[in-house]
Amino acid sequence: MIPNATDLALKMRRLTQWVDSQRQPASLIRRQFHGGSLGNCYVTIDLDRQTPFASSNLNRVYMCGAEPGMSSQGVARLIDLFLTEGVKRFFVWLSPGPDMDLARGWLEQHGLSRIRRTGYPTLCRTGHAPVPFNTDLEVREVSADEIADASDQLGETLWPEYTRCAGRESFFHYMAFDDRRPVAIAALCIFEDIGYLMAAATAESHRKRGAQQALIAKRVERAERSGCSMLVSETLYMIEHSYRNLQRAGFVEAYEKEIYEWNA
């Protein structure tokens, strides 16, 4: 059964905080607010990551609706917080929570506009049927040493967020190989009762060979073996192959995060 969207959103915010602590650079400023005019939002600040795209800009506010304590004044304080740090563009990631229309109104009142180029769905899987896949690639779990050795061959396919958490407790890393050459990556982390599928990428020259479906299957199997009651992944609607692969593996959409941009 798909969990309540608000309950899942709150758990995903806790997961995001924990994953950030494990895989993001030490230079990332992370702040968690409890109560007051900022409610319980989680904030990250990175002067070096002010790109125009929400997925790659690490200047973010994670909100779950209009939680107790949050107010219109709180949104103004958040803007001042980023401006004081020298940030000229940040994004609010709004997930399900109480009084969503009120939260949307506060954001728009202070000049934030919703990004509608694409959507940002959170998908979950609660069934236990094996995930079918078909590939001629070898897919297996890899160690931190193997990941380091693969860096030259994978190039930009080897995301920094994938390598930083290699070897850490509760993280499991996988690769797909064509003979001995690594061509695709993916990771799993286990948090509370959730198995979180993350950091998937395939070298362009080896796409459409079933690598990602096989990597999903391996991670689902590992998470279920570890006792996870639910598996979760996040993607974008515009990455159609990722969205379809997750659906084929039994993932269903739980909610869509709303992304709002503030630009000085």
pLDDT digits (tens, 9 = 90+) for 227-258: 999 999 999 999 999 999 999 999 999 999 99
- Using 50, 70 and 90 to split pLDDT, how confident is the model at 127? confident
pLDDT in tens, 165-210: 999 999 999 999 999 999 999 999 999 999 999 999 999 999 999 9
pLDDT in tens, 18-55: 999 999 888 899 999 987 888 899 999 999 999 999 99
Q: Is residue 1 predicted with pLDDT exceeding 70?
A: no
- Say if CB 120 and CB 9 are below 8 A apart: no
**Average pLDDT, whole number, for the chain?**
95
Q: Is residue 9 predicted with pLDDT exceeding 70?
A: yes
Domains in the chain, please, with CATH?
5-121+258-263 (3.40.630), 127-228 (3.40.630.30)
pLDDT for res 2: 74
- Report the percent of the chain where pLDDT is more than 90: 90
The residue among 36 and 211 whose pLDDT is bigger is: 211
pLDDT in tens, 57-102: 999 999 999 999 999 999 999 999 999 999 999 999 999 999 999 9
pLDDT in tens, 103-119: 999 999 999 999 999 99
Q: What mean pLDDT comes out for the span 6-21?
A: 96
Q: What mean pLDDT comes out for the span 145-156?
A: 93
* Full-model pTM: 0.94
